Chain A
Amino acid sequence: MASDAVLGGDGRVAAGRMLLAGWAGALVAYLAFAGWLLANPPALSSDDALFFAHGLVRFSILDLSPQFPGYPGFIAIGRLLLPFAGGDPVRALALLTSLLALALPPLAACIALRQTGSRAVALLAFVLALAMPLLPDLGLSLLSDGAGVAFLLVFLALLPRPGAEPSRLATFLAGAALAWALACRPSDAALLAGAGLGAVAVRPAMLLPLAAGAAAVGFPVAATVLALEPLYFTEGARFTAGHALIWGNTALSGEQTDSWLGAIAAVPGGLATAALIAAGVALALPRLRQRSAVLAAAVAAFGAHALWIAVFQNPDSLRHLAPLLLLGGLVALLTIGGGRLRLVLPIALLAVEVAVGVTATRLLPSPPPLQSAIGYLAGQRAGTTVATNEGVFLLRDRLQAIRVYDMHYPADAALNIAMVPGAGFRLASTALPARTPVAIFPTRFIGEHTLYLYRAACTLGSETAC
């Protein structure tokens, strides 16, 4: 950093010691986080995770194994890990998502070091990525989000330093990394397209090697997916329309029960984090004239993803914000200028993220709320009924003696529960007004939902929903 040069000999030694101590502390925190991740039981937390587990043993997108868009890169790496997980797809998924989450802090540090040459900034990037409140969710939800972000960071790490000529080989590999990120997480297409276009916009010479690298990965992956699932585009049209317009709780679905602003504000510290991230990106905009490929890629990816999730993603799934948190932190660090206030924003962001993460994370290893609910319901007598919107497929898969009704069809659930003698339940992610839950299954970290189990209230002759 600029201030390093003006320090005297003693000052340099003291600064070096502080930096060393900082790295030592960061590594201890990193190892503690890794230990905590691995101490949590490998467990499916949602229907999506169940579909990924199915996809590791049988790839058939039409019957949700996994769901569209198939996530072929993620499934391929997961399959490679199967032998290390004793052939158990849930353990393989847990191993994969934990490793991907653990890869993010070192990758962020690599990018910062390569772009700024400062170990102090690299340390801050490492710690900011480690403190990201959604990192536990990326590691333990057994979903593909971490894969897309990890390979996006690999792409950024391979981009040229400011002022340096891009190497063709590095740019080719960057293109390959971007395509693999897309293969892992096709639903992050806007994020990844933004990153590629942002880099090319400031460095047009990178277009050909970048495209060649992307094609070298993209074409074989696309051909393989089409070979395994020839009706890919048919299912894609159905799924995309259904997700966007009918069942996805998106801004276009007409029945959106939450907004992104509401979802962020519901997290203590969420608005502060969002404001700091937005400030960091806003302050970076004038720096785009410096033609830094990484900065342009990160800012364009940030903007494209923010727009994409605002319109096409479900505010119920906070994990979609993870790329914004990571990129926002990186952008704030890469645009650190001179003056005493240069570190205020990244350090404020770090402080807020640590506070948010620590207060919302359960330190004692525990299963996801849905698994806790499954454990409770497994103790009920055979034929017990439960109506829910949460994890219908997972509940049916794990509770074979229990009748599980999908609240997408509430009248079906109501009549059947009203007709079946004995206890019926309603499992909800919302605390239902004026009703007392028989059990509450709390979250482990930000991104999960607390689940509430109620006695079902549907009886014949009543119009009350279950």
Chain B
Amino acid sequence: MIRLVLILLIAAAALAELPLIAAQPALAYSYAAAGAEPLLDGREALFAAVTAGKWDEAKTALAAMQVDLDYLDQNEDKGAAQAFADAVAAQDAKAVMAAFNRAASDEIVRRLNGARDNLKDYQSAKVLVVKAQRFYTAIAGDLPPDAAKLISNALTQALDAVGNPGVFGVGQRQPDPGAFASARADILKALGKTP
């Protein structure tokens, strides 16, 4: 019986080779996925419409981002929302990209400021810097390569500056406000913002 099973399986295996299915490599993994970020999801819809020259759809996409843009406008950067509205009204693709880069920079700075203000709270500070880093990763291609490298290195420095509470003293490192401030200043400079 076992012999029969063996022979049948080997024969089946050989036959199975005949109709080889064509390779269909899958789309790759992306660690850059930033998770739920309305501004980034909005960017996809907005940029797709702008590339296709469908400005009515661009207005709809912009409306979906409005809550987040209004928040930035009121709390971080007066005029950030209006820049989008003007760019879409003028049907100016370059201005749309500039408006997005401005808002994305605001998002990074907002999180860095949150981390700076909570530097004594390891969990909050580290999560905020990591969120800034993920946001940066999602827009890194949009930035000039020199600025992108500078920001990438400074974000690593900011993460280290957050310190580490460790476990029973093992791995413990105190936060370093000076190093954090220096990293933040470098990032703001690379983003063209005033420290």
Co-assembled chains A and B:
yes
A→B interface (CB under 8 Å): 47, 58, 60, 62-64, 67, 223-224, 226-228, 230-231, 234, 238, 242, 246-249, 255-258, 262, 265-266, 268-269, 271-276, 278-279, 282-283, 314-316, 337, 339, 341, 344-345, 348, 352, 382-383, 385, 389-390, 392-393, 396, 400-416, 418-419, 429-430, 449, 458, 460-463
Alpha-carbon separation in the docked complex, A416 to B100 (Å): 12
The reply to whether B97 and A419 contact each other, CB–CB distance below 8 Å, is: yes
A residues in contact with B64, CB < 8 Å: none
B interface residues, tally (CB under 8 Å): 67
Task: For residue B55, give the distance in angstroms from its CB to the closest CB of chain A.
Answer: 12
Smallest CB separation, A410 vs chain B (Å): 7
A276-B10, A409-B40, A414-B47 known; A404 vs B93 contact (CB < 8 Å): no
| Docked CA distance A408–B3 (Å) | 51
Q: Flag B71-97 by CB within 8 Å of A: 1 or 0 each.
A: 000000000000000000000011001
Residues of A with C-beta under 8 A to B145 = 382-383, 400-403
Q: A283–B6 contact, CB under 8 A?
A: yes
Residues of B close to A256: CB separation below 8 A: 26
The reply to whether B16 and A230 contact each other, CB–CB distance below 8 Å, is no
CB distance from B34 to the nearest CB of A (A): 9
Instruction: For the complex, give the distance between the alpha carbons of A58 and B173 in Å.
Output: 14
Which residues of B sit under 8 angstroms from A64, Cβ to Cβ? 31
Residue of B nearest to A234 (CB): B127
Cβ contacts B17-53/A at 8 Å (1 or 0 each): 1001111111111111101000010011111101111
Write out the residue numbers on chain B whose beta carbons fall within 8 Å of the beta carbon of A402. Answer: 145
Do B142 and A412 touch across chains, with their CB atoms under 8 A apart?
yes
- In the complex, what's the smallest C-beta–C-beta distance from A105 to chain B, in angstroms? 24
Which residue of chain A has its CB nearest to the CB of B11?
A: A275
Q: How many Å lie between the Cα of A126 and that of B110 in the bound state?
A: 58
Q: Is B30 touching A247 in the complex (CB atoms < 8 A)? A: yes
Do A258 and B44 have beta carbons less than 8 Å apart? no
Q: Besides A396-B140, A458-B51, 16 other CB < 8 A contacts? A: A47-B29, A224-B170, A227-B168, A228-B171, A230-B166, A266-B21, A341-B6, A344-B10, A352-B13, A389-B27, A409-B138, A410-B44, A411-B44, A412-B141, A418-B93, A430-B25
Query: In the complex the two chains form, what is the Cα distance from A401 to B147 in whole Å?
Result: 11
A414: which of B51, B94, B155 is its contact (CB, 8 Å)?
A: B51
- A67–B25 Cα distance when bound, in Å, is 23
